[in-house]
Structure 1
Amino acid sequence: MTPSHPLRILFLSTHNAARSIMAEYLLRRLGHGRFETCSAGLEPRGQVHPMTLKVLSERYRIEPNDARSKSWEELQGEHFDLIITLRDKDREAFPRSRWEPIAAHWNQPDPADFEGDEKQQELRFIQTGRELSMRLDLLCALPMEKLGHLPHPGEQASAPM
C-alpha cells in the first residue's frame, strides 16, 4: 500500500529561523515528493537567520527563496500527518490539543543560540544541517506503507504500526 498523497510534515521550533527551516527544505529535497513540508515557530523571530540561508544555499545547493519565519498560529486548521518538535521546551510549550499527532521529537540545539565568531557560527549551522540530514535520511528510508497508515481527514486509519 502506498499513500495517494504526500505525507504532510510540520517541523516546529521556538523561533522558526534556523533548525525548522533547515529541516523543511532538506526534507523537500531528500523526500523526492513523498512529503509536503512546512515549518513554524512558537515565538517566531519574523526572519530566517542569514546563516540558515547561506548553509542551505552553499552546502546543499538549495535556494530557499520563499523561506520565512512564521507562527504556528498561521497554520491552525491545517492537517498534518506528522509533527516533529525540535527542542524539549517546544514540545512542552506546544498546545497539543491543537494538532495530533505529535509523533516525533528531536532535541536539536538551536545553532542561532551559539556565540562565536562568524566562522564558528557557520560551522555550528553546518553541523546542525548534517545532523538533521541524517535524521531525515532515516525518515525517508521508512517504508511508505508504515507511514501511510496515518489517516488523512475523513479517512479511517489502517492497521497500527
Structure 2
Amino acid sequence: MQDGMYRVLFLSRRNSARSVMAEAILNKIGKGRFKAFSAAVDPAPMIEPAVLELLRNTDYPIEELTPRHFRAFADAGAAELDFVFTLSDTAAGEALPEWPGLPITSHWRCPDPVLAEGEPWERKQAFMQVLAGLERRLNIFINLPFASLDRMSLQHQIKGIGDSDTA
C-alpha cells in the first residue's frame, strides 16, 4: 500500500470493456482507499463505445480511461501494485511479468460483453450484466478486513470472490 491507498490492476485481452469497467467502478466506490488501473495483453485501439455510454449513464468516471499494454505496469520504475486481477482467460493464460510490489493475484473470470450476439437490446443487456457482476465482486472486495488478514488469508478471500458466481 502506498500513500494509504491500495493499487489494483485489472487485466483483460483488449482493455476495451471488462477491465475498463472494473477500473471505473473501483475508482468510484473505493473512495480514495483504492486506485485502479486497467491494461491488456493486446490493447484495442479504443474503448468500446457501448462501455463508455454505459459508464457515463451509470455515473462512473471515464475521463482517464484508455487502453494500455500491461508492460506499462511492469517496466522498471513502475509503481508497486497491491493486487492484480485477470478478467479474461487470455490474460490469465499469458506469461505475465513479476509485478513491482509482488501483488496478490487472482483470476476473476468474466464474460466478454463485446462477444455478445443478438439484437441491440440483447447486446446492451450483456454489457449491463457484466457491469453488475463486477460491481458485486468489487463491493465484496473493498469490504474485506484488509488490516486483520495475513497475505495467505487475503489471497484465499480474493480467490473466493473470483470463484463466486457473482459475475
TM-score, L = length of structure 1: 0.83
1:103 matches 2:105: yes
Q: Quick check: 2:12–2:90 contact (8 Å CA) kept in 1?
A: no
1:51 matches 2:50: yes
| In 2, Cα distance between equivalents of 1:135 and 1:124 | 17
Q: 1:133 pairs with 126, 135, 139, which one?
A: 135
Matches within 5 A, 1:67-146: 67-75=65-73, 76-77=75-76, 78=78, 79-98=80-99, 100-146=102-148
Please report how far the alpha carbon of residue 63 of structure 1 lies from its aligned counterpart in structure 2 after TM superposition: 3.5
TM-score, L = length of structure 2: 0.81
Q: Quick check: 1:83–1:104 contact (8 Å CA) kept in 2?
A: yes
- Paired residues, number: 149
Unaligned runs of 5+ in 2: 154-167
Q: Tell me, what secondary structure is at the counterpart of 2:98? A: helix
Amino acid aligned to 2:137: R
| In 1, Cα distance between equivalents of 2:104 and 2:140 | 18
Identical pairs, percent = 30
Q: Quick check: 2:81–2:99 contact (8 Å CA) kept in 1?
A: no
| In 2, Cα distance between equivalents of 1:119 and 1:96 | 39
Q: Deviations for 1:46-96, whole angstroms, at most 9, x for unmatched residues?
A: 2000111111111x2123022111111222232211000002221111424
Q: Quick check: 1:96–1:102 contact (8 Å CA) kept in 2?
A: no
Q: Aligned-residue CA RMSD in angstroms? A: 2.1
Q: Tell me, what secondary structure is at the counterpart of 1:97? A: coil
| In 1, Cα distance between equivalents of 2:114 and 2:11 | 15
Alignment match, 1:26: 25
Q: Quick check: 1:24–1:39 contact (8 Å CA) kept in 2?
A: yes
Which structure carries more relative contact order (alpha carbon 8 Å, separation 6+)? 1
